[in-house]
Amino acid sequence: MQIARNPALADIRVEDDRTGLSIETLKRAFLDNLFYIQGKFPRLASKNDYYMALAYTVRDRLLQRWLSTAATYTENASRTVAYLSAEFLMGPQLGNNLINLGIYDAVKQAVEELGLDLDELLEQEDEPGLGNGGLGRLAACFLDSLATLEIPAIGYGIRYEFGIFSQGIRDGWQVEITDKWLSRGNPWELARPEWAVEVKLGGHTETYTDEHGQRRVRWVPYEVVKGVPYDTPLLGYRTNNCNTLRLWSAEAPESFDFEAFNSGDYLGAVYDKVTSENLSKVLYPNDNLSQGKRLRLAQQIFFVSCSLQDMLRILQQQQVPITDFAKKFTIQLNDTHPSIAIAELMRLLVDERGLPWDLAWQITQNSFAYTNHTLLPEALECWDLAMFEQMLPRHLQIIYEINHHFLEAVRAKFPNDNDRVARMSLIDENNGRRVRMAHLACVGSHAINGVAALHTELLKQDVLRDFYEMYPEKFQNKTNGVTPRRFVLLSNPRLSKLITGKIGDNWVRHLDDLRQLESYVEDASFREEWWKTKHTIKEELAAYIKQHNGITVDPYSIFDIQAKRFHEYKRQHLNAMHIVTLYNRIKRNPNIDITPRTFIFGGKAAPGYFIAKLIIKLINSIAEVVNNDPDVRDRLKVVFLENYSVKFAQRVYPAADLSEQISTAGKEASGTGNMKFALNGALTIGTLDGANVEIREEVGAENFFLFGLTAQDVYALRASGYDPSHYYHNDWELKEVIDRIASGDFSRGDRNLFQPLLESLLNWDTYLLLADYRFYVDCQERVSQAYRNREHWTRMSILNSARMGKFSSDRSVRDYCRDIWKVQPVKVSLDKQLF
Ligand code: 26Q
């Protein structure tokens, strides 16, 4: 940005209606925005109008910081993190911006003085659900930490018109409803049509000789799509650094099919427009599954090419030579979804900027780093080669050339090892020819990381073993983290107040400071306050459940919560089997002494994932029976919370006593919900999987309910020939659970309904539920006993919160900055003369 000083504007007041933070100024600004932006006066305004007026009031205050940030970063030509992600699961913006600006209480009072309730206005916001789950939410937490740590950063992604579907529950089944999150307008974004770029698709390539006698390749595309950036400002916590989330929306290029237009085929031309816009139409709702669909590949190249062209524009605008690309930008690939960027940057540098291959490759490798988020083979992206070639003919040639150089290096390091060469090739020749995106990401990046210590070890030993042997120096661990701003301060104001009252508010930026709470563990009155706070929050969730589910739950019972995407490896059905176990015990002896529990589930299943949807139906079916059986006497309740989202998550984490983190060991890369629960004082029942391992190390084994097979046990059991029916026949209580589900007791006598699930468990049990069942149920019994001792439970709860400092995304991001990105903070001051 060129900043010209205009003396005529020099004496504009800074503390004005659009920037001032006093209650009076906020009120005036709010009414102005209601009038001039929403076009309403108070008597006719709806709650949504008030929300919008408030959002614009807050946005004005962000924009001042945003412009100062842009000016500062430009002046310093700061090294910038470009975080490339197909998903950003941001959650609602208003509350978080109030917190980070430090005006939450002032705004609450200002709207109250106008006769409004801030909580009701916050409720109005439709959250941008532009992600599936953990991976998208991690990207959002990282952006919050980057701004808070004053690191120049841009998040690049797709502005999906429809985010993750809204989930309804009808007759116990999940139904999907399209997510029209933009229907009432999005006050947080600014369209930047002046920075639109074009992306080519399809067609063929030609070689030619340029004016220097150099042989070059030209790509003649079949079609061109325009990408328009929409920017959302992201302010750090109590900093002036306001970074950018830049999301691309697909449009038809201006000159779309002009011939058809002139020849009178107006509708034909408009039809083409519709297909280009399809590129950013909808988020694929699969989590941890790659289906290899053409439109998905088109989405990936679309946002990646737009983002790289945008970086080249910034480079040019700041007059940085192209050869310094990797000095200006460090690009993080959030899984393989954006990994086509490696071939695209090579194309831009070699074909469009005329750089020699070797120099371009050096720049590319220096620019990229790759984060892997999965150990599941079905989640590793591979593209059918014919389809890939049809859409990206030039990229395929580039990948062949990268592969050629790479396989030569493999042969040099491991002579006479053809099997290894075939295993490592960027092209899989065995399963119908396919392009292996994880291999491209590994070869084209200077750093490769897993997201928890165990995950990184398993990558090195198993999924990426050959690459580890080839490039051991590239591999690093970066354990995930979550932002304490959204997931404690904003979502749990009661606990935050209690904590701040004891240790001050430094913990919000330095989460390790929570350790100071340890010294209050033996303080009985503090424990009492802690317990009461938790209890009040449970009462609030109970009221919500009453209102939305019509179920009465007992806030004195254990709130046992499993909230996450539905997937067999996450084993929600193991949790369901525990519920049926307790139900059977009650049916056998209605007077049995049982610790009351409320089982709460939340989460979506991918629309095409039949078994996951059947697990949702099973839970709802069990709920119907258990909640209404007089023998149960309200000691057990089962609740399914519809349409789990970030907004919802913020309600749920604070109210949990027990956090279910029960994936098959070796399957969950990290988990981040596990962190959000424990940070809010829930105890974990969990396997040694993902970050559970490290959480347990931090909080202490005595404050964590561990059960089940280890990743090594899982490998060994599979290798020795696992027979699930053995467990069925040798554990009568397990048999009784399966038999009751099979009997139709939970399906109004229908014995077929759950057969697909039960058959899969008895015949394959890919995720070893039957092997872990006894460990799990016995561990749950220890939980029930522990909960009966309120003092002891509260101690453990406090210690969980107090020792979770490591899992701040600030720590994660600092680690990336130090070991991978090599970036430094850049302070932004508000005194900057902007005009
Ligand atoms: C790929 C191809 C085509 C369509 C969809 C996809 C796709 C989309 C989303 C594949 C995977 C995802 C999401 C994966 C994910 O959320 N992984 C989670 O990442 C978290 C953050 O690191 C970890 O904590 C979780 O353990 C991991 O499951």
Report the run of H or E that residue 597 belongs to, with start and end.
Answer: strand 597-602
pLDDT > 50? residue 4: no
Q: Is the CB of residue 338 less than 8 Å from the CB of residue 302?
A: no
pLDDT value of residue 2: 37
- 3-state class (DSSP) for residue 585: helix
Nearest-CA residue for ligand 1 atom 15 is: 135
Residue to probe by mutation, ligand 1, list 83, 85, 88, 135, most atoms within 8 Å of CB: 135
pLDDT value of residue 269: 62
- Could you tell me the two tokens for 278? 């399809």
| Pocket lining: 291 vs ligand 1, CB cutoff 6 Å | yes
Mean pLDDT for 391-415 is 98
pLDDT value of residue 254: 72
Domain boundaries, the chain: 1-76+94-126, 79-92+128-478, 491-804
pLDDT value of residue 13: 47
- Could you tell me the two tokens for 212? 């220097």
- 3-state class (DSSP) for residue 483: coil
Q: Is the CB of residue 491 less than 8 Å from the CB of residue 243?
A: no
User: Could you read off the pLDDT of 586-631 as tens digits, one per residue?
Assistant: 999 999 999 999 999 999 999 999 999 999 999 999 999 999 999 9
Could you tell me what percent of the chain has a pLDDT over 90? Answer: 92
Mean pLDDT for 277-293 is 91
User: Could you read off the pLDDT of 104-149 as tens digits, one per residue?
Assistant: 999 999 999 999 999 999 999 999 999 999 999 999 999 999 999 9
Partners of 368 in the beta sheet?
331
User: Could you read off the pLDDT of 519-530 as tens digits, one per residue?
Assistant: 999 999 999 999
| Pocket lining: 296 vs ligand 1, CB cutoff 6 Å | yes
- Could you tell me the two tokens for 201? 């698709």
pLDDT > 80? residue 793: yes
Q: What's the CA-to-centroid distance between 209 and ligand 1, angstroms?
A: 44
CB atoms within 10 A of CB 679: 27
Dihedral angle over CA of 51, 56, 58, 60, nearest 10:
-170
| Pocket lining: 441 vs ligand 1, CB cutoff 6 Å | no
- Could you tell me the two tokens for 207? 């070689």
Report the run of H or E that residue 119 belongs to, with start and end.
Answer: helix 118-123
Mean pLDDT for 549-556 is 98
pLDDT > 90? residue 275: no
User: Could you read off the pLDDT of 229-249 as tens digits, one per residue?
Assistant: 999 999 999 999 999 999 999
Mean pLDDT for 181-187 is 97
Residue to probe by mutation, ligand 1, list 87, 130, 287, most atoms within 8 Å of CB: 287
pLDDT > 60? residue 800: yes
Name the active-site residue from 395, 564, 696, 803.
564
pLDDT > 80? residue 193: yes
| Pocket lining: 286 vs ligand 1, CB cutoff 6 Å | yes
pLDDT value of residue 470: 98
d(CA 732, CA 503): 51
Mean pLDDT for 274-302 is 91
Q: How far is CA 718 from CA 231, 268, 768, 774, in A?
A: 49, 56, 9, 18
Residue to probe by mutation, ligand 1, list 288, 383, 693, most atoms within 8 Å of CB: 288
| Pocket lining: 284 vs ligand 1, CB cutoff 6 Å | yes
**CATH topology identical between 79-92+128-478 and 491-804:** yes
CB atoms within 10 A of CB 325: 24
Nearest-CA residue for ligand 1 atom 19 is: 135
Nearest-CA residue for ligand 1 atom 11 is: 288
User: Could you read off the pLDDT of 810-819 as tens digits, one per residue?
Assistant: 999 999 999 9
**HEC letters along 794-830:** HHHHHHHHHCCHHHEHHHHHHHHHHHHHCCCCCCCCC
Provide the pLDDT confidence category of residue 332 given band limits of 50, 70 and 90: very high
* Domain spanning 79-92+128-478: CATH superfamily: Glycogen Phosphorylase B; (3.40.50.2000)
Provide the pLDDT confidence category of residue 271 given band limits of 50, 70 and 90: low
pLDDT value of residue 276: 85
pLDDT value of residue 14: 46
| Pocket lining: 135 vs ligand 1, CB cutoff 6 Å | yes
Mean pLDDT for 206-220 is 96
Q: Of the given ranges (34-38, 290-294, 699-703, 805-809), which has the lowest mean pLDDT?
A: 290-294
Q: What is the mean pLDDT of the chain?
A: 95
Domain 491-804 in CATH 3.30.70.20: no
Q: Is 565 a catalytic residue?
A: yes
- 3-state class (DSSP) for residue 502: helix
